[in-house]
Amino acid sequence: MKPGYVRPLDLKHGRIDMNHGAGGRAAAQLIEQLFLPAFDNPWLRQGDDGAVLPAPPPGHRLVMATDAHVVSPIFFPGGDLGSLAVHGTLNDVAMSGAVPLYLSAAFVLEEGYPLAELQRLARSMGEAARAAGVPIVTGDTKVVEQGKGDGVFIATTGVGALPPGREIGGRQARPGDAVLLSGPIGDHGVAVLSKRESLAFETEIRSDSAALHGLVAALLAALPEGSVHVLRDPTRGGLATTLNEIAGQSGLGMRLDEAAIPVRPQVEAACELLGLDPLYVANEGKLVALVDGAVAEAALAALRDHPLGREACRIGEALADPQGFVRMDTRFGGCRVVDWLSGEQLPRIC
């Protein structure tokens, strides 16, 4: 684009208008001046319709995962839509045991959205991607009229490389597997909701939004190949829904120990106030691992050795159960079935 032809973007006071989505000069300018500097990497700079990239190493399989992100509010304690859009998709790639390689990002912008906020978001995405070592290699920018969107939505897709012989997934769970959790639950959902409802707690509750592929790599490196059966990030629907998904996929039941499931006291308190059950609240920086019972202690040690797994716990086990129930021994010595999330609990949490 010949820069002499256009007024520079007013990144301080400017706003998104319909032209920024029309694919012409204004769109090219927005990409060149706002997105490219934030995401900077040679693949994106190719500037073609698609990015041409080195393939995974020989023998590896591809892994592909996608998520649209519509969290409201866009900025919240501990993160924002941009970093969340990077972490969320990286984590879904990582949950197969793959090494994430590349990300794409497609934006739906609402007319009138401030460029300064968009730049803040893009920079946050770029930082999250660089910190994770996974470049945003291709993108897209669409604009909808005021009242037809809600600021910014971001859909990210991730591609990764899965080493030969690694088989991790919901159907790999086996009776006797230990159920491990990498840390306390509920932080993300409560942080977003507190901000949305303008609730102030004594201690600020921050989202746990984080990229988990490093933690996964540490776990896998510490254990014999084949002993990690399932990995999953308990996002929307929370821990309870995630465990029910795995039970459904594997045809097994689970037995949990309520007292072993970590919840920060301030999250517990906030949940009580808000009428939420932390078991159903979304997390964006935690993982559940089902590992061979024999390696449970080694797995826990490996998780705790990593900054994102310091508070990892063993919370239960998988077992044969024709009904596929997730049951929990309660703190009070009872036992109850933990079902799927069935109400909406928290809309637009990620």
Ligand X SMILES: Nc1ncnc2c1ncn2[C@@H]1O[C@H](COP(=O)(O)OP(=O)(O)OP(=O)(O)O)[C@@H](O)[C@H]1O
Site residues (CB under 6 A) for ligand X? 23, 31, 35, 39, 44, 47-49, 67, 88, 92, 105, 107, 138-141, 235-236, 350
* 3 state DSSP class of 110: strand
Q: CB nearer to a second copy: give 98 or 303.
A: 98
Name the binder of 113 from ligand X, a second copy, Mg ion, none, CB < 5-8 A by kind.
none
Residue 19 near a second copy by CB under 8 A: yes
CA pair distance 181, 331, nearest whole angstrom: 18
29 close to 5: Cβ distance less than 8 angstroms: no
182 close to 286: Cβ distance less than 8 angstroms: yes
Q: CB nearer to Mg ion: give 74 or 295.
A: 74
The least CB distance from residue 66 to ligand X, in Å, is: 7
* 3 state DSSP class of 93: helix
Hey, what's the torsion of the CAs at 270, 271, 275, 278, to 10 degrees? 170
* Cis bond before residue 73 (omega within 30° of 0): yes
Amino acid at 86: V
Element (H or E) spanning 75, and its range?
strand 75-76
The least CB distance from residue 240 to ligand X, in Å, is: 13
**Taking CB under 8 A as the criterion, which residues in 97-116 touch a second copy?**
98, 102, 104-108
Residue 138 near a second copy by CB under 8 A: yes
Residue 160 near a second copy by CB under 8 A: yes
Site for Mg ion (CB under 5 A): how many residues?
6
Instruction: Name the segment binding a second copy (CB under 8 A); options: 22-30, 177-185, 268-276, 304-312.
Output: 22-30
Q: Residue 254: which of 310, 170, 134 has the closest Cα?
A: 170
Instruction: Name the segment binding Mg ion (CB under 5 A); options: 183-191, 225-233, 243-251, 340-348.
Output: 225-233
Binding site for Mg ion (CB under 5 A): 49, 67, 88, 92, 140, 233
